Amino acid sequence: MPAVHETAYPRLKEAVTPTDLAEVYTPTGKEIALAIDTSPRREARLGFLILLKTFQRLGYFVQIADVPAGIVTHIGATSGLTDAADDLAGYDDTTYR
């Protein structure tokens, strides 16, 4: 059986370039508005945006715990939810997901 890195499935890179962060992982105003309308709590909004942006990149959902810290920090900073990143530790086990 081939290893994950030998398959055609896209995956998240640990070292994300500033260009990728800006072009791929920066939420738009409409996406932020959708997160606000969808999620009542700040950490749920951030989790929603992380799942949205990673799904757009990969085509499948990942666990928040598997998303590199650079991506989480960037999405939090560009969406005004930097302080919510500390509360994502148990997000994968919540009903928000």
Q: What is the pLDDT of residues 46-55, one digit of tens each?
A: 999 999 999 9
Full-model pTM: 0.87
Quick one: which of 22, 78, 23, 69 has its CA closest to 49?
78
Q: What is the pLDDT of residues 12-37, one digit of tens each?
A: 888 899 999 999 999 999 999 999 99
Quick one: which of 56, 64, 57 has its CA closest to 94?
64
